[in-house]
Amino acid sequence: GIQVEQSPPDLILQEGANSTLRCNFSDSVNNLQWFHQNPWGQLINLFYIPSGTKQNGRLSATTVATERYSLLYISSSQTTDSGVYFCAVQDSGGSNYKLTFGKGTLLTVNP
Amino acid sequence: NAGVTQTPKFQVLKTGQSMTLQCAQDMNHNSMYWYRQDPGMGLRLIYYSASEGTTDKGEVPNGYNVSRLNKREFSLRLESAAPSQTSVYFCASGKTGTSFLNEQFFGPGTRLTVL
Quick one: which of A35, A67, A70 has its CA closest to A50? A70
Q: What is the per-residue pLDDT for A101?
A: 92
Cβ <8 Å between B106 and A99 = no
* pLDDT greater than 80 at residue B41: no
- Rounded CA separation B85/B80 (Å): 10
Q: What is the per-residue pLDDT for B98?
A: 64
For residues B27-44, average pLDDT: 91
* pLDDT greater than 80 at residue B40: no
To the nearest whole Å, the CA of B100 is away from the closest chain A CA by 8
* pLDDT greater than 90 at residue A105: yes
From the list B56, B88, B94, which residue is nearest A41 (CB)?
B88
Q: What is the per-residue pLDDT for A23?
A: 98
Q: What is the per-residue pLDDT for B2?
A: 83
Cβ <8 Å between A43 and B106 = yes
Report chain A residues whose CB lies below 8 A from the CB of B106. 35, 42-43, 45
Radius of gyration (Cα) for chain A, nearest Å?
13
Q: Report the 3 state secondary structure along chain A.
A: CCCEEEECCEEEEECCCCEEEEEEECCCEEEEEEEEECCCCCEEEEEECCCEEEEECCEEEEEEHHHCEEEEEECCCCHHHCEEEEEEEEECCCCCCCCEECCCEEEEEEC
Report chain B residues whose CB lies below 8 A from the CB of A41. 88, 108-109, 111
Q: What is the per-residue pLDDT for B99?
A: 64
Cβ <8 Å between A86 and B40 = no
Q: What is the per-residue pLDDT for A30?
A: 86
Q: What is the per-residue pLDDT for A95?
A: 62
Tell which wins on pLDDT, B24 or A30: B24
How confident is the model over A37-92, as pLDDT tens digits? 998 999 999 999 999 999 999 999 999 999 999 999 999 999 999 999 999 998 87
Share of chain B above pLDDT 90, in %: 81
Contact B31, B49 (CB under 8 A): yes
To the nearest whole Å, the CA of B52 is away from the closest chain A CA by 14
Strands A43-48 and A29-37: antiparallel
Neighbours of A100 (CB within 10 A): 24
* pLDDT greater than 90 at residue B17: yes
Report chain B residues whose CB lies below 8 A from the CB of A45. 103, 105-106
Q: What is the per-residue pLDDT for B42?
A: 82
